[in-house]
């Protein structure tokens, strides 16, 4: 009985980890900078990052120090075989929270939407998870291909998010002209 319970706990732990959604988050200190200046810097960072910031911004609340962005990027598979089934877009949500002297970003809810529909996922969720391999049961002959596509999808997502985080961090530590405008 104890072995069965132990096995179930291990199995559920592995299963839960496979379904944990992919996300990026950090709290960054910016000493001596007010919440309002950080909010304005966040808005500047977004305008330099996205072509149409009004279209992607879901909420800008300066008083509560919160910005919510729903954006996407194009995904073009580097796995040549079957790329027509996997090319498409990856949608995600970016939350920025600001307080005096620090800000927090959370980038989450990555969803891959192939141009050809959801056939790659065989009806399963297209939410990207932390799983190193394709997280759903698949036909044996498709396993290697789906794992390769999954790896490529996650690598491209990580590369795009690293650029976004770097831009955000640079803009958040750089004063904008209006901060020192004491006329």
Q: Is residue 35 one of the residues assigned to a domain?
A: yes
Q: Is residue 7 one of the residues assigned to a domain?
A: no
pLDDT at 136: 84
Report DSSP letters for 11-51, one per residue.
HHHHHHHHTSBP-EEEEEE-TT--HHHHHHHHHHHHHHH-T
Specify the number of domains making up the chain. 1
Q: Kindly report the CATH number assigned to the domain that includes residue 40.
A: 3.30.530.80
CA separation for the pair 53, 120 (Å, rounded): 31
Helix (H) or strand (E) holding 55: helix 53-56
CA separation for the pair 129, 23 (Å, rounded): 8
Q: Where would I find the beta strands (DSSP E) of the chain?
A: 24-29, 57-61, 66-75, 88-99, 102-114
Please write the tens of the pLDDT for every residue from 128-150.
999 999 888 888 878 898 899 99
For 58, the domain range is 19-177
Residue with more model confidence, 100 or 177: 100
Share above pLDDT 90 across residues of the chain, in percent, rounded to a whole number? 60
Residue with more model confidence, 129 or 15: 129
Please write the tens of the pLDDT for every residue from 142-172.
889 889 999 999 999 999 999 999 999 999 9
């Amino acid at each position: 009985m104890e072995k069965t319970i132990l096995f179930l706990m291990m199995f559920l732990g592995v299963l839960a980890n496979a379904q944990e959604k992919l996300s990026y988050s950090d709290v960054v200190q910016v000493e001596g900078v007010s919440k309002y200046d950080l909010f304005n810097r966040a808005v500047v960072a977004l305008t330099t990052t996205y072509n149409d910031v009004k279209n992607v911004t879901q909420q800008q609340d300066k008083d509560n120090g919160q910005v919510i962005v729903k954006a996407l990027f194009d995904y073009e598979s580097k796995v040549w075989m079957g790329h027509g089934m996997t090319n498409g877009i990856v949608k995600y949500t970016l939350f920025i929270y600001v307080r005096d002297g620090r800000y927090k970003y959370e980038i989450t809810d990555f969803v891959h939407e192939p141009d050809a529909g959801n056939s790659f996922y065989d009806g399963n969720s297209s939410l990207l998870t932390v799983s190193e391999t394709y997280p759903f049961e698949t036909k044996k002959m498709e396993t290697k291909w789906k794992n390769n596509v999954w790896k490529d999808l996650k690598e491209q997502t990580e590369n795009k998010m690293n650029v976004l985080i770097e831009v955000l961090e640079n803009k958040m530590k750089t004063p904008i002209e209006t901060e020192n405008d004491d006329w």
